[in-house]
Chains A and B, each alone.
Chain A
Amino acid sequence: MQYQSQAVAKPYFIAAIGLFVGQILFGLIMGLQYVIGDFLFPEIPFNVARMVHTNLLIVWILFGFMGAAYYLVPEESECELYSPKLALLMFWVFLIAGALTILGYLLVPYATLAEMTGNSLLPTMGREFLEQPTITKIGIVIVALAFLFNLGMTMLKGRKTVITLVLFIGLVGLAVFFLFSFFNPDNLVRDKLYWWFVVHLWVEGVWELILGAILAFVLIKTTGVDREVIEKWLYVIIALALITGIIGTGHHFFWIGLPGYWQWWGSIFSALEPLPFFMMTVFAFNMVNQRRRNHPNQAAVLWALGTSVMAFLGAGVWGFMHTLAPVNYYTHGTQITAAHGHMAFYGAYAMIVLTIISYAMPMLRGRKAANSGKSQILEMWSFWLMTVSMVFITLFLTAAGVLQVYTQRYTDNPQPFMAVQERLELFYWMREAAGVVFLIGLIIYIISFFAGSNEPEQA
C-alpha cells in the first residue's frame, strides 16, 4: 500500500462482502418462495424478501464503489486522502442507516415504516429499488456529498489522471441521478419516466464509467501496460457507453405511455449498447496479452477478465435479446428480464467490486502484492463456482421466460399468470439449486481470506 489513507477502503470492502452474503441469503429465501409460496410466511413475506434482496445489492455495490474510490484515488493522485476521518465517519453513517433501513423492512409493515419515517412530508417511498424511507435517502445524499467532497479535494491537490477523472464523473453522475428519486409526481407516466432516470442512467450510464475506471486501474497495475494505451481504450469505452446508454433509456419508454417514437429511438440505441461491453472484453484480453510482467495476484487478473466477459454476456447479449420493441412487447417484465438482470448485475458490477477487492485486499492486510498460493486457489474456485452457477441461473430463468412469454402472451389463448407460474416450477427449482452452488462459492470466497494467511505470498 503506497499511501496510509488508502486503509479506509478496508471497512468499506468488509461491509460490502457482509451485505453481499445477506443479499444472497435473501435471494435464496425468495427463490424458495417462488415454489413454496408460504415459506417463512408471515415472518418474511415475498415482497419484503425481494425488497431486501435488491436493496442489499445496491447498497453493497455502493460500498464497493466507495471502497474502490478511496483505495484508487490516493494512489492515482499520488497523495494522501484529503480526510480519512471523514471517510470513516461516513462509513459508519452509511452502514448504520443501511442496517436500520433493512431492519425496518423486516420488522415493521412497509406502510407503518412510511408513517414512522415521515414519508408524507416528502413522499418518495414505494418505488421498486428506491423503497428506502425518505430520511434514508437524505442520509445517502449527505454521505454521497461528503464522499465526493473528500475525493474531489484529494484529486485537486494531487496528480490528475484519466482514470480518476472518469471515476469522478461516474460518481458525480451517480449522486446527481439519485436526486430524481426525490421527485415523485402524481402522474404515473411521469413517475415512471423519472424513476428510470435513476435506475437506467445508473446501471446503463454512469456506473459503466465507474466500472471502466476500476477495470483500467486494475489492468494498469497487474499488466504493466503503458497508461497511455489503457487510457485511450477507456476514452473509447466511456464514449460508447454514454452515446448508446443515454438515448438507450428509451427502451424503458416503450409501454409506459410515452410517445411511440421512443420505440424507434430506444430500439436503435439500445441495440448498440452491447458495443461498450464488447470493447471492454477486447480491451481486457488485449491488455493481458500485451502484459509486460506476470503479476503475482493471478486471482485479481482472473476477476478482471471474468468481469469483461460476464458483463458482455449479461448486459450485452442478454440485454440485446429483449431490447427491440417488437420483441420487448412480449417479453417485458417476464423472467427474461430477471435473467438479464441477474447476469448483468453480477457480471458488470458485482464482479468489478470483487475484482478491486481481490486486487487491493492483500495490500490492505499488510501483504506486498498478493495472497498466498493456497488463498488464491480457493479464490479462483469461488470465482468459477459463482460464475458458472450464475450462468446456470440465467439459463434457467431464460428458459422459464420463454415458456412464460409463449403461454401467457404470445399464444391465441393466453393462460392466467398463476397458472403459468405453476408450469415454470421446474425451472424455479433448478434456479434455486444453482443459487445454492452460488452460495457455496461465496462461502469459499470468504474462507479464502483466512486460508493460508500465515503462508508466504505467491511469487
Chain B
Amino acid sequence: MPHLDNDRRTGQNLAVLAEALYIANLLLIPVIGFAILCYLFLTQYKQAPPLARSHLEQTLSASLWIAVLFTVFAAGILLLKNFGMEAVSMWIIIILVFTMLHASMVLLGVLGLAKAMAGKCWRYPLVGKTLPDNCSRYDKV
C-alpha cells in the first residue's frame, strides 16, 4: 500500500484531521472540537512528521487566538454597555463583528484544509506560528 505508507510518512491524514477539527470547532461542535484537537496535539505532536506537526501547531494556535479574540470582543461589548451605549447600536456591532470574525476564521480554516489535502504547509495569517524550515520539504509540487 504505497499510498498509505506515503500518508504515514508525510502525515497528511493527521494534517487534514487537525484542520477539520479546527473548522468543526467553529461550525458544528464548539469546545468539543477544540478538546479533541488538544488531545490530538498532546498525543501525536512529538512523533508526527513535519507537515502534520505544522498543521497541528497552526490549528491549535489559531483556535487559541480565536478564543482570545472573542473574549476581548465580549469584554469590549460589556464595557460599552456599562458606558450606556444604546442597545440597538450594540446589536449592530455584535452581529457585524461576530459574523465577519467568524466567517473569516472559517475561510482561513478552509484554506488550511485545502493546503493539508494538497500535502502543503499553511500559516494562519497573524495568528499562526512561523512555519518551520523543514516543512516545505514535504510539500508536493
Q: Chain A interface (Cβ within 8 Å of chain B)?
A: 278, 281-282, 285-286, 288-290, 309, 312-313, 317-318, 321, 395, 398-399, 402-403, 406-407
- Inter-subunit contact A399/B103 (CB<8 Å): no
- Inter-subunit contact B88/A290 (CB<8 Å): no
Chain A: minimal CB distance from B132 (Å): 19
Cα distance, A304 to B97, chains bound together (Å): 27
- Inter-subunit contact A406/B88 (CB<8 Å): yes
Cα distance, A290 to B114, chains bound together (Å): 9
Q: Which residues of B contact A281 (CB under 8 A)?
A: 107, 110
A279: nearest chain-B partner, CB-CB: B110
Q: What band does the interface of chain B fall in when counting residues whose beta carbon is under 8 Å from A?
A: 20 to 34
- Inter-subunit contact B117/A278 (CB<8 Å): no
Q: Chain B interface (Cβ within 8 Å of chain A)?
A: 87-88, 91-92, 95-96, 99-100, 103, 106-107, 110-111, 113-115, 117-118, 120, 140
- Inter-subunit contact B114/A285 (CB<8 Å): yes
Q: Find B87's partner among A282, A289, A312, A406 (CB 8 Å cutoff).
A: A406
What DSSP secondary structure best describes chain A's contact surface? Answer: helix
Q: Which residues of B contact A309 (CB under 8 A)?
A: 107
Cα distance, A406 to B115, chains bound together (Å): 42
Chain A: minimal CB distance from B135 (Å): 15
B113: nearest chain-A partner, CB-CB: A282
Chain B: minimal CB distance from A226 (Å): 14
Cα distance, A402 to B115, chains bound together (Å): 36
Q: Find B99's partner among A288, A289, A321, A406 (CB 8 Å cutoff).
A: A321
- Inter-subunit contact A406/B107 (CB<8 Å): no
Q: Which residues of B contact A289 (CB under 8 A)?
A: 114-115, 117-118, 120
Chain B: minimal CB distance from A348 (Å): 15
20 additional contacts, CB 8 Å, given A282-B113, A317-B106, A399-B96?
Answer: A278-B110, A282-B110, A282-B114, A282-B117, A285-B110, A285-B115, A286-B114, A289-B115, A289-B117, A290-B117, A290-B140, A313-B103, A317-B103, A321-B95, A395-B96, A399-B92, A402-B88, A402-B95, A402-B96, A406-B88
Q: Give the A-B pair count, Cβ closer than 8 A.
A: 53
Q: Which residues of B contact A395 (CB under 8 A)?
A: 96, 100
Question: Beyond A309-B107, A406-B87, is A398–B114 a contact (Cβ under 8 Å)?
Answer: no
Chain A: minimal CB distance from B103 (Å): 5
Question: Beyond A395-B96, A403-B92, A406-B88, is A290–B118 a contact (Cβ under 8 Å)?
Answer: yes
Q: Which residues of A contact B140 (CB under 8 A)?
A: 290
- Inter-subunit contact B114/A403 (CB<8 Å): no
Q: Which residues of B contact A406 (CB under 8 A)?
A: 87-88, 91
Cα distance, A321 to B100, chains bound together (Å): 12
Question: Beyond A289-B120, A290-B118, A321-B99, is A402–B92 a contact (Cβ under 8 Å)?
Answer: yes
Cα distance, A318 to B99, chains bound together (Å): 9
- List 8 A-B residue pairs with CB atoms under 8 Å apart, sorted by A's residue number: A285-B110, A286-B118, A289-B120, A309-B107, A395-B100, A399-B96, A402-B95, A406-B88
- Inter-subunit contact A317/B114 (CB<8 Å): no
Cα distance, A312 to B111, chains bound together (Å): 13
Q: Which residues of B contact A285 (CB under 8 A)?
A: 110-111, 114-115
For the complex of A and B, list the 10 residue pairs with the smallest distance between their C-beta atoms, beginning with the closest: A285-B114, A289-B118, A286-B114, A406-B88, A290-B118, A402-B92, A317-B103, A281-B110, A399-B92, A286-B117
B19: nearest chain-A partner, CB-CB: A282
Q: Which residues of B contact A288 (CB under 8 A)?
A: 114
